[in-house]
Chain A
Amino acid sequence: MIRSHVLICGGTGCSASGSGAVKEALEAEIAAKGLADEVKVVQTGCFGLCALGPIMIVYPEGTFYHSVTAENVPEIVEEHLLKGRPVTRLVYHEVNDDDVKHATSLSETVFYKKQKRVALRNCGVINPENIDEYIGVDGYRALAKVLTEMTPEQVIDVILASGLRGRGGAGFPTGRKWQMARNLVPDADQKFVCCNADEGDPGAFMDRSILEGDPHAVLEAMTIAGYAIGSNQGYIYVRAEYPIAIKRLEIAIGQAHEYGLLGDNILGTGFSFDIKLRFGAGAFVCGEETALMTSIEGNRGEPRPRPPFPAVKGLFGKPTILNNVETYANICQIILNGPEWFASMGTETSKGTKVFALGGKIQNTGLVEVPMGTTLREVIYDIGGGIPNGKKFKAAQTGGPSGGCITTENLDTPIDYENLMRIGSMMGSGGLIVMDEDTCMVDIARFFLEFTVDESCGKCTPCRVGTKRMLEILDKIIAGNGTLEDIDRLEELANYIKSSSLCGLGQTAPNPILSTLRYFRDEYIAHVVDKKCPAGVCKSLLRYKIDPAKCKGCTLCARKCPVGAISGSVREAHTIDAAKCIKCGVCMSTCKFGAISRA
Chain B
Amino acid sequence: MKKKLTTVMFRGTKAQEEKLLSVIEKYRDTEGFMMPILQEAQEIYGYLPIEVMRIIAKETDTSVEEVFGVASFYSQFSLNPKGQVAISVCLGTACYVKGSGQVLEKISEVLGVSPGSTSPDGRYSLEATRCIGACGLAPVMTVNNEVYGRLVPADVPGILEKYR
State which residues 65-82 of B face A: CB under 8 Å.
69-70, 73-77
Across-interface contacts of B10 in A (CB, < 8 A) = none
A400 cross-chain contacts in B, Cβ below 8 A: 93
Q: How far is the CB of B12 from chain A (nearest CB, A)?
A: 21
Residue B9 interfacial (CB < 8 Å): no
Stretch of B17-25, B34-42, B118-126, B155-163 that contacts chain A: B34-42
Please tell me which one of the listed residues A12, A284, A298, A357 contacts residue B70 in the complex, with CB atoms under 8 A apart: A298
Residue B111 CB within 8 A of the other chain: no
With both chains docked as a complex, state the minimum distance between the C-beta of B79 and any C-beta of chain A, in angstroms: 13
> Smallest CB-CB separation from A212: which chain B residue?
B133
CB-CB under 8 A from A50, the residues of chain B are 134-137
B43 → chain A closest CB, angstroms: 10
A433→B38 CA distance, assembly (Å): 34
* Interface residues in A261-280 (C-beta closer than 8 Å to B): 278-280
Question: A279–B77 Cα gap in the complex (Å)?
Answer: 12
Classify chain A: how many residues form its interface, as a range: 35 or more
**Cβ of A240 and Cβ of B76 under 8 Å apart?**
yes
A204 to B93, CA, bound (A): 9
Q: Contact check, B92 vs A300: say whether CB atoms are below 8 A apart.
A: no
Chain A positions within 8 Å of B34 at CB level = 298-299
Q: Identify B135's interface contact among A284, A365, A455, CB under 8 A.
A: A365
How many whole Å from B104's CB to the nearest CB in chain A? Answer: 13
- List the A residue with the shortest CB-CB distance to B35: A298
> How distant is the Cα of A397 from the Cα of B135 in the complex, in angstroms?
14
Does A447 have its Cβ within 8 Å of any Cβ on chain B?
Answer: yes
A527 in the interface, Cβ–Cβ < 8 Å?
no
CB 8 Å contact bits of A316-352 with B (1 = contact, 0 = none): 1000000000000000000000000000000000000
Residue B85 at the A interface, CB < 8 A?
no
User: Please, which residues of chain B bring their CB within 8 A of the CB of A296?
Assistant: 32, 35
Which residues of A have CB within 8 Å of B130? Answer: 200, 202, 241, 282, 284
Does A295 interact with chain B (Cβ within 8 Å)?
yes
Q: Interface readout for A135-165 with B: 1 if CB under 8 Å, 0 if not?
A: 0000000000000000000000000000000
Asked whether any CB of chain B lies closer than 8 Å to the CB of A70, the reply is: no
- Of residues A208, A241, A280, A301, which shows the largest number of chain B Cβ atoms within 10 Å of its Cβ? A241
Q: Indicate if B143 sits at the interface (CB-CB under 8 A).
A: no
CA distance A45 to B30 in the complex (A): 32
A454 to B134 CA separation, bound complex (whole angstroms): 22
Contact (Cβ within 8 A) B1 A298: no
Q: Enumerate chain B residues within 8 angstroms of A397, measured Cβ to Cβ.
A: 93
Q: Which residues of B contact A240 (CB under 8 A)?
A: 39, 76
In the complex, B31 has a CB within 8 A of chain A = yes
Does A57 touch B at the CB level, under 8 Å?
no
Asked if B136 and A241 make an inter-chain contact with CB atoms under 8 angstroms apart, the answer reads: no
* Assembled-state Cα–Cα distance A434/B92 (Å): 13
CB distance from A369 to the nearest CB of B (A): 15
- The B interface, classified by DSSP as helix, strand, loop or mixed, is loop
- Residues in A with CB closer than 8 Å to B69 are 299-300
Measured between C-beta atoms, what is the minimum distance from B13 to chain A in Å? 25
Q: Residue A242 at the B interface, CB < 8 A? A: yes
- Whether B98 lies near A360 (C-beta < 8 A) is yes
The answer to whether B97 has its CB under 8 Å from any CB of chain A is yes
Interchain nearest-CB distance for B60 vs A (Å) = 10
Q: List A residues 1-29 near B (Cβ within 8 Å).
A: 12-13, 15-17
B149 is an interface residue with CB less than 8 A from chain A: yes
Interface residues on B, range: 35 or more
- Distance in angstroms from B86 CB to nearest chain A CB is 14
Q: How far is the CB of B36 from chain A (nearest CB, A)?
A: 7
When chains A and B are docked, how far (Å) is the Cα of A457 from the Cα of B92? 19
Query: Is A288 part of the contact surface with B, judged by Cβ < 8 Å?
Result: no
A314 within 8 A of B: no
A433–B70 touching, CB < 8 Å: no
Is B96 interfacial (CB 8 A cutoff)?
Answer: yes
User: Does residue A410 face the partner (Cβ distance < 8 Å to B)?
Assistant: no
In the complex, what distance in Å separates the CA atom of A204 from the CA atom of B131? 8
Please pick, from B1, B32, B94, B133, the residue contacting A433 in the complex, using a CB distance under 8 A.
Answer: B94
Contact call A359/B76, Cβ cutoff below 8 A: no
Contact A297 B132 (CB under 8 A): no
A244 to B112, CA, bound (A): 33
A313 → chain B closest CB, angstroms? 16
User: What chain B residues lie within 8 Å of A295 (beta carbons)?
Assistant: 35
* B140 CB contact (under 8 Å) in A16, A208, A241, A284: A16
Residues of B within 8 A of A386 (CB): none
Q: Render A185-207 as a binary contact track against B, CB cut-off 8 A, 1 for contact.
A: 00000000000000111111100
Given A51-B136, A359-B138: A203 touches B74 (CB 8 Å cut-off) = no
Contact across chains for B70 and A299 when beta carbons are under 8 A apart: yes
Which residues of the other chain, A, contact B75 by a CB distance below 8 angstroms? 281-283
CB contacts (< 8 Å) of B137 on chain A: these are: 13, 16-17, 50-51, 53, 365
Interface presence of B147 (CB below 8 A):
yes
Residues 414-447 (chain A) with a chain B CB within 8 angstroms:
431, 433-435, 439, 444, 447
Q: Are B93 and A359 in contact (CB under 8 A)?
A: yes
Q: Could you tell me if B92 and A203 are in contact, using CB atoms closer than 8 angstroms?
A: yes
Partner of A17, one of B39, B135, B138, B149: B149
| A297 and B32 contact, Cβ closer than 8 Å, known pairs A16-B134, A17-B137, A205-B135 | yes
- How far is it, in angstroms, between the C-alpha of A15 and the C-alpha of B132 when the chains are bound? 12
Please give me the residue from chain A that is nearest to B62 by CB atom.
A298
B35 cross-chain contacts in A, Cβ below 8 A: 278-279, 281, 295-296, 298
Report whether B133 and A242 are in contact in the complex, using a CB–CB cutoff of 8 Å: yes
Tell me whether A360 and B94 are in contact (CB under 8 A). yes
**In the complex, which of the residues B76, B140, B149 contacts A281, with contact meaning CB atoms closer than 8 Å?**
B76
Give the residues in chain B near A360, CB-CB below 8 Å: 93-94, 97-98, 138
Interchain CA distance A100-B11 in the complex, whole Å? 65
Q: Does the CB pair B132–A12 fall under 8 Å?
A: yes
* A283 & B135 in contact (Cβ 8 Å cutoff): no
CB-nearest residue of chain A to B91 = A202
* Residue among B36, B75, B134, B136 facing the most chain A CB atoms (10 A cut-off): B136
17 A-B residue contacts at CB 8 Å? A13-B135, A200-B130, A240-B39, A241-B76, A278-B32, A282-B130, A297-B32, A300-B69, A357-B94, A357-B135, A365-B94, A365-B137, A431-B94, A433-B97, A444-B97, A447-B93, A454-B1
- Additional A-B contact list (14), CB under 8 Å, known A241-B132, A241-B133, A397-B93: A50-B134, A51-B137, A201-B131, A203-B131, A205-B131, A208-B133, A281-B77, A284-B130, A296-B32, A298-B31, A298-B34, A359-B93, A365-B138, A447-B93
Identify the 4 closest CB pairs spanning chains A and B, nearest first: A50-B136, A359-B94, A202-B92, A281-B74
Question: What is the interface of chain A, defined by CB distance below 8 A to chain B?
Answer: 12-13, 15-17, 49-51, 53, 199-205, 208, 240-242, 278-284, 295-301, 316, 357, 359-361, 365-366, 397, 400, 431, 433-435, 439, 444, 447-448, 454-455, 457
